[in-house]
A = this chain, B = another copy of it.
């Protein structure tokens, strides 16, 4: 399946139109303001010993992701001020690039003699993001100057890593260059860049590098160095690294028709979604190494579930869809885009979570010395900036490019992967989709196409649905024959569903999560009082669905709360107080001050 590019798709209404408006009107400016004096300023390479704001190893990537996301935003809306910032930034980068194309603000100002010495200091990661920014800007404007500069940089990387094989390391500690080179190849047609991406993929895990980093107990896993990529069976180590590597692997598998690589990608995808993924689509069970741990280990209160990892799951899943037209990949995108990704940004678009736990207790998270990264504190309140501020511009570029997840096509079929009010008219296919999904499950699609079939995804959460055409099903899609302008009405029955986890997930044992459509719900203390983790719900509960301030409806039902007690331990009893229970979309948690939150409610 080939995807219809986001730039060809117009989002015309609904949830994502609102999200994109906030992204365009608030987020892009808010992030720039927070980055201006540090990350943007660093690109001037004027830092001297004794100055504040020494350029951090990954600051260039923060700017690059902002440039990429801003370019996406400008694709559907004009904003000269933002455009000028992008272009001025490119100019600054080109002015401070070497003759050979190399640019990195951190190494330029202090460690000129240590370029490509340190595997885990993010040079290739930053380079990859600069390349993605260059491709985005080129696609927006058609202007080639910055793209050419990045080609030169890529040529230099090819020289150092592939031709001359510099001695310090062979593959990056943090993948990203691989998928970026594949994008550069697609933008320029220069096959060498794909070959270089494949080179990095082929080399990854082929040896245990000298220059490893952090967590000696897990270094090899941390950087996905434990096995060659084609032998990989599970997703391990640092989640974002793992998923960015998988993106590169999927891209290379497709380009080179590399079945071994494709099978490894499939095994890892299946391992993630069937054993290592939170119900929100969040990834990362521990803050130690921001990492996967083992199958079925999904603790809620100490979940890491980094926003960037959820985004990376969408990146990877959409690439898998290119390799194999199976709805399960679009399902994974849907699960994470309504939950684990969008919990990463406040409803007003200004503040961000790095970690997205499925249970929050302000006492525990803010005072317990055993919890996660202090840089991301408190977990009860989104922050406008982090020391490591990778997530904010990542959410921005994801939201701006959501249109790229909706439609695809192959020889004879056009695919509808996501239900978002939108339209496009490309390559002989014209589609108009009208829906309030996921507010409800009704979708109207008008399609005029020279393809024979339209395949509409049957969402993973849906048991009953109606289609006003005859259809067959294949790989999770309903396939309908096209004939002239075809008007399709889909009605996905969207009841509230109470989900349980596999019995091997200790943390969710005896608990249920409430979903409606793809949206995972949670209970917050501000609505439901204290000790939310002890409140039980009857699995046969009825729910009232009400409009809300949270973009999607809230759910109301009854809960059962045990009595307060002075004693730490007492006789078990059946004393419960019946209380009204309000559930809000998980992505909307922590928008009303510090309060308890839980996704997994006890079963009564």
Q: Which A positions have Cβ atoms within 8 angstroms of B?
A: 215, 217-218, 221, 273-275, 277, 279, 285-286, 288-289, 291, 293-295, 297, 301, 359, 361, 363-364, 367-370, 374, 497-506, 509-513, 531, 533-534, 536, 539, 561-574, 602-603
Bound Cα distance A273, B289 (Å): 35
B502–A569 contact, CB under 8 A? yes
Cβ-closest chain B residue relative to A215: B369
On chain B, the residues within 8 Å of A505 by CB distance are 568
| Chain B min CB distance to A380 (Å) | 15
Cβ-closest chain B residue relative to A531: B503
B564–A274 contact, CB under 8 A? no
Bound Cα distance A370, B371 (Å): 12
Bound Cα distance A274, B567 (Å): 6
B288–A369 contact, CB under 8 A? yes
A502–B572 contact, CB under 8 A? no
On whether A572 and B364 interact (CB within 8 A), knowing A289-B369, A359-B506, A370-B286, the answer reads no
| Chain B min CB distance to A500 (Å) | 4
A370–B603 contact, CB under 8 A? no
B370–A288 contact, CB under 8 A? yes
On chain B, the residues within 8 Å of A572 by CB distance are 498-500, 512, 539, 603
A510–B513 contact, CB under 8 A? no
Bound Cα distance A313, B279 (Å): 41
A569–B531 contact, CB under 8 A? no
Bound Cα distance A565, B499 (Å): 13
A285–B503 contact, CB under 8 A? no
Bound Cα distance A509, B301 (Å): 13
Cβ-closest chain B residue relative to A217: B369
On chain B, the residues within 8 Å of A221 by CB distance are 369
| Chain B min CB distance to A4 (Å) | 30
| Chain B min CB distance to A461 (Å) | 10
CB<8 Å pairs between A and B, sample of 20: A217-B369, A274-B566, A279-B568, A286-B368, A286-B369, A288-B369, A293-B367, A293-B369, A359-B506, A498-B572, A500-B562, A500-B569, A500-B571, A500-B573, A501-B568, A501-B569, A502-B569, A502-B570, A510-B511, A539-B573
On whether A534 and B503 interact (CB within 8 A), knowing A368-B293, A369-B215, A572-B603, the answer reads yes
A510–B510 contact, CB under 8 A? yes
